[in-house]
Amino acid sequence: MNDEAVIRAMKESDLDEALKLWRISFNVGFSTNFDTKEILIKYLNRNPGLSSVACTKEGKLIGALMCGHDGRRGSIYHTAVYSEFRNKGIGRRMEQRSLEELKKAGITTGFLFINVNNPGSKEFWNSIGWTVISNIKYLYKEF
Ligand SMILES: CC(C)(COP(=O)(O)OP(=O)(O)OC[C@H]1O[C@@H](n2cnc3c(N)ncnc32)[C@H](O)[C@@H]1OP(=O)(O)O)[C@@H](O)C(=O)NCCC(=O)NCCS
């Protein structure tokens, strides 16, 4: 499957299928109140070409990753692959594609958040070269 999975830029028309995948994939940390399709469309338009999807050769979406930057650092959100397609390098290939696009925009560092309750997420990111920064806490505010 790895050889056949197509990795490409996420389009607005992928969002319904990506939302289905994310709802199924995340035990916690995915809010459909916050991550509405409208908000995600704005995110894609603000960060053209950076988010990635994986599809079968028939075109079915099987993986998705959101990526953007703030002009200084890149960020990655919502990385998921359907369970039957995991451990075939698809998560890694989506990350590689998005980082290549960030590099083209002059961005060469990035951050992401993991929810420790998602099994295997820390191991996955460590395996592909991301480091946990233990002295930094994530702060949050609604305004
Ligand atoms: C995490 C996830 C995206 C990984 O996708 P994937 O396509 O299976 O990952 P890959 O096959 O590209 O794996 C890349 C590396 O990570 C490692 N890895 C992947 N999942 C792992 C797991 N659960 N435990 C330990 N290592 C894992 C692989 O062994 C591989 O390392 P290697 O190249 O040294 O062998 C997928 O398991 C998933 O969708 N999980 C549910 C959603 C989730 O928790 N997402 C992370 C949010 S922070």
**Is residue 143 in some structural domain?**
no
The atom number, within ligand 1, closest to the CA of 92 reads: 12
Per-residue pLDDT of 72-122, as tens digits, reads 999 999 999 999 999 999 999 999 999 999 999 999 999 999 988 888 999
Per-residue pLDDT of 6-35, as tens digits, reads 999 999 999 999 999 999 998 666 777 788
**Is residue 112 in some structural domain?**
yes
User: Which region, left, alpha or beta, applies to residue 78 given φ > 0 means left and ψ of -120 to 50 means alpha?
Assistant: left
Rounded distance, CA 51 to CA 79, Å? 10
Per-residue pLDDT of 121-130, as tens digits, reads 999 999 999 9
Give the confidence band of 135 by pLDDT, cuts at 50, 70, 90: very high
Q: For ligand 1, say whether the CB of 79 is within 6 Å of any of its atoms.
A: yes
* pLDDT on residue 3: 62
Strands 6-9 and 74-81, bridge-based pairing = unpaired
Note whether 80 and 64 are within 8 A (CB): yes
Q: Which runs of consecutive H residues, i.e. helices, occur in 1-143?
A: 15-25, 37-46, 90-104, 121-127
Does residue 137 surpass a pLDDT of 80?
yes
Q: What is the mean pLDDT of residues 31-54?
A: 94
State in Å: Cα 36 to ligand 1 middle.
25
In which domain, by residue range, is 47 found? 6-127
CATH number at residue 25: 3.40.630.30
34: number of CA atoms within 13 Å, CB side? 6
Q: What is the mean pLDDT of residues 49-54?
A: 98
Q: For ligand 1, say whether the CB of 122 is within 6 Å of any of its atoms.
A: no
* pLDDT on residue 8: 98
**Is residue 69 in some structural domain?**
yes
Note whether 35 and 18 are within 8 A (CB): no
Q: For ligand 1, say whether the CB of 130 is within 6 Å of any of its atoms.
A: no
Estimate to the nearest angstrom the gap between the alpha carbon of 99 and the chain centroid. 11
Q: What is the mean pLDDT of residues 32-56?
A: 95
18-28 core/surface letters (b: 16 or more CB in 10 A; e: else): bbebbeebbee
* pLDDT on residue 33: 79
Q: What is the mean pLDDT of residues 41-53?
A: 98
**Is residue 1 in some structural domain?**
no
**Is residue 68 in some structural domain?**
yes
Q: For ligand 1, say whether the CB of 52 is within 6 Å of any of its atoms.
A: no
Q: How many domains does the chain have?
A: 1
Best probe residue, ligand 1, of 1, 87, 113, 123 (max atoms within 8 Å of C-beta): 87
Q: For ligand 1, say whether the CB of 86 is within 6 Å of any of its atoms.
A: yes
**Is residue 102 in some structural domain?**
yes
Give the confidence band of 4 by pLDDT, cuts at 50, 70, 90: confident
* pLDDT on residue 51: 98
